[in-house]
């Protein structure tokens, strides 16, 4: 553990030194990417042929005057909601796209994990595709020969390497594509949601390779929706929103900002800095305000509700509001591991009920129940309720689950005339993301305190 900490400190010191004495590995200066969107293909053709002077398109900025730099030896993350321009900026850095304005400079050999296998020929064998991709990356046949053993070992697809790629399963395909991309010894690694490929064992191998790159002091630019990976691996994070850079800073601060963006609570300090066309015209603003008002009146408010929620019950009571709050009191479905959080349920009673019980349960994405509790277990007696009564039940606890995605279910049950009844149940209604920079084995963390004692003179 101490050696890992030392390596991290060395990387930070190295990054600070290179920032003071050398040019950055990547510099993005005032980059914009403008797309012309046509209502019909014929409009594009008419404009290209000069057959019309009328503007037949409307403009969309995928990126608008974005600037930041990445120091050598630094791991920088880029986060943002869908459509914020994350993948676009990576494609511009790697030369896949050309910016409409601005400049990008990179100092070092780049390997990009963007669209895995995009350069593969489906008719070629896996071996032929290794040499094809290596040549496209600028390597000679001798250089590819020198890396071949590492690529084959990492991909681990056995005799299939000599079969046409079109016969591969999707898992085999991404394993080979990842192995080719990551074993060319780059100085700059650019990753776009590409670490979680293949089965769990291959994913572990991918993350181990990623750690190797960081420990070797290579420069990494990392885009992901996995906030745990961002918090764990990144030295610094850039937040994009609708093509505009909102902020950059420490992973914790930027993850907090991202959580606010997800629920529309970023604050005027950030939204006022965005150009007017980033939010569209006045009509769009009115519609957005209307949608937000409607959301605030829905079951889960501004939190996204699972469209495949399973709902049933006899109807003596029903949930009217379900909310989760982080340790700062922010409405969010992203909770940092090790912090306190609140699960809140608002219940309306439609009939007289003698002994109501409110419960929640966490499941993993495979449907396994991980943990949960209810007011009866917690010795919280709600008491008899009359038709028309409304209560709010709050469960406050510390998040000890491992980083990852979970589904939250709710139930309002109880006893009526001595018999157990289900008043209202909602299975998998909310998604909860646990953000963690350190995971242990299994579903939850035992929060072990570790000590090591050296005994001299004993065998």
Question: What are the pLDDT digits (tens) for 187-233?
Answer: 898 888 766 666 667 777 777 887 888 888 899 998 888 787 788 78
CA nearest to 222, candidates 44, 90, 385 = 90
Residue of 254 and 51 predicted with greater confidence:
254
Share of the chain above pLDDT 70, in %: 83
What pLDDT shows up at residue 278?
39
Q: What pLDDT, on a 0 to 100 scale, did the predictor assign at position 15? A: 46
Give the separation between CA 351 and CA 365, rounded to whole angstroms. 35
pLDDT range class, residue 74, cuts 50, 70, 90? very high
Which pLDDT score, from 0 to 100, does residue 459 have? 56
Q: What is the pLDDT of residue 92?
A: 94
How do residues 349-375 score in pLDDT, each as one tens digit? 999 999 999 999 999 887 888 999 999
Among 4-8, 50-54, 90-94, 358-362, the least confident range: 4-8
pLDDT of residue 117: 65
Q: pLDDT-based confidence at 426, cuts 50/70/90?
A: very high
- Residue 198 parent element (H or E): none
Tokens encoding 333 = 């479905």
pLDDT of residue 83: 87
342 close to 356: Cβ distance less than 8 angstroms: no
Q: Which domains can be identified in the chain, with CATH numbers? A: 2-268 (3.40.50.300), 310-435 (2.70.50.60)
Q: Report pLDDT for 422.
A: 92
Mean pLDDT of the chain: 83
Residue 338, pLDDT score = 94
Q: Give the residue-averaged pLDDT of 92-107.
A: 93
Pairing of strands 110-113, 317-325: unpaired
Residue 273: band (very low, low, confident or very high) from pLDDT cuts 50, 70, 90: very low
Say how far apart CA 51 and CA 48 lie, in whole Å.
8
The pLDDT of residue 441: 85
**pLDDT (mean) for 66-71:** 95
Q: What is the mean pLDDT of residues 316-332?
A: 95
Give residue 208's pLDDT: 80
Mean pLDDT of 61-80: 94
Between 327 and 228, the higher pLDDT residue: 327
Q: Is the pLDDT of residue 288 over 70?
A: no
Q: E strands of 167-316, at which residues? A: 188-192, 219-223, 236-241, 244-249, 310-312
**pLDDT over threshold 70, residue 292:** no
Tens of pLDDT, residue by residue over 124-182, are 999 999 998 888 777 888 989 999 999 999 888 999 999 999 999 878 888 888 888 88
Full 3-state SS string of 296-336: HCCCCCCCCECCCCEEECCCCEEEEEEEEECCCCCECCEEE
Among all chains, which residue has been given the structure tokens 């869908």? 82
pLDDT at position 343: 97
Residues in Cβ contact with 104 at an 8 Å cutoff, skipping those fewer than 6 apart:
26, 27, 28, 29, 31, 92, 93
Is the pLDDT at 44 greater than 50? The verdict is yes
Are 385 and 331 spatial neighbours (Cβ–Cβ below 8 Å)?
Answer: no
pLDDT > 90 in the chain, percent: 46
pLDDT of 295 > 50? The answer is no
DSSP conformation class of 437: S
Q: Is pLDDT of 272 > 50?
A: no
Q: At what angle do helices 170-182 and 200-215 cross, to 10 degrees?
A: 10
Tokens found for residue 309: 């929620």
């Amino acid at each position: 553990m101490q050696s890992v900490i030392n390596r991290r400190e060395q990387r930070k010191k190295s990054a600070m030194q290179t920032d003071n004495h050398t040019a950055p590995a990547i510099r993005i200066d005032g980059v914009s990417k403008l797309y012309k969107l046509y209502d019909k293909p014929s409009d594009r053709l008419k404009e290209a042929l000069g057959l019309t002077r009328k503007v037949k398109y409307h403009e969309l900025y995928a990126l608008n005057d974005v600037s930041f730099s990445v120091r050598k030896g630094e791991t920088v993350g880029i986060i943002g909601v869908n459509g914020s321009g994350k993948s676009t900026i990576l494609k511009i850095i790697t030369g896949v796209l050309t910016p409409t304005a601005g400049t990008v400079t990179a100092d070092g050999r780049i390997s990009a994990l963007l669209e895995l296998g995009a350069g593969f020929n489906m008719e070629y064998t896996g071996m032929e595709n290794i040499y094809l991709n290596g040549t496209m990356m600028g390597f000679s046949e001798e250089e590819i020969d020198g890396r071949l053993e590492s690529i084959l070992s990492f991909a681990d697809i056995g005799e299939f390497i000599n079969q046409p790629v079109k016969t591969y399963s999707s898992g085999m395909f991404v394993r080979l594509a990842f192995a080719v991309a990551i074993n060319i010894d780059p100085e700059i690694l650019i990753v776009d949601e590409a670490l979680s490929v293949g089965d769990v064992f291959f994913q572990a191998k991918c993350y181990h390779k990623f750690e190797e790159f960081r420990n070797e002091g290579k420069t990494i630019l990392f885009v992901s929706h996995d906030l745990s990976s961002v918090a764990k691996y990144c030295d610094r994070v850039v937040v994009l929103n609708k093509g505009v850079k909102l902020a950059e800073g420490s992973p914790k601060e930027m993850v907090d900002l991202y959580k606010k963006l997800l629920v529309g609570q970023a604050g005027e300090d950030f939204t006022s800095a965005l150009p007017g066309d980033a939010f569209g015209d006045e009509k769009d603003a009115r519609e957005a305000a209307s949608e937000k008002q409607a959301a605030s009146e829905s079951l889960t408010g501004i939190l996204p509700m699972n469209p495949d929620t399973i709902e049933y019950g006899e109807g003596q009571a029903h949930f009217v509001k379900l909310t989760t709050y982080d340790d700062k009191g922010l409405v969010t479905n992203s909770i940092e591991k090790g912090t306190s959080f609140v699960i809140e349920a608002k219940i309306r009673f439609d009939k007289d009920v003698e002994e109501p019980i409110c419960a929640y349960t966490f499941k993993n994405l495979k449907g396994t129940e991980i943990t949960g509790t209810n007011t009866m277990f917690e010795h919280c007696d709600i008491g008899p309720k009359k038709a028309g009564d409304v209560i709010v039940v709050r469960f406050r606890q510390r998040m000890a689950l491992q980083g990852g995605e979970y589904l939250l279910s709710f139930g309002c049950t109880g006893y009526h005339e001595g018999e157990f009844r289900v008043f209202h149940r909602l299975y998998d209604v909310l998604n909860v993301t646990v953000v963690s920079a350190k995971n242990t084995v299994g579903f939850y963390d035992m929060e072990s305190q570790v000590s090591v004692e050296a005994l001299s003179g004993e065998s």
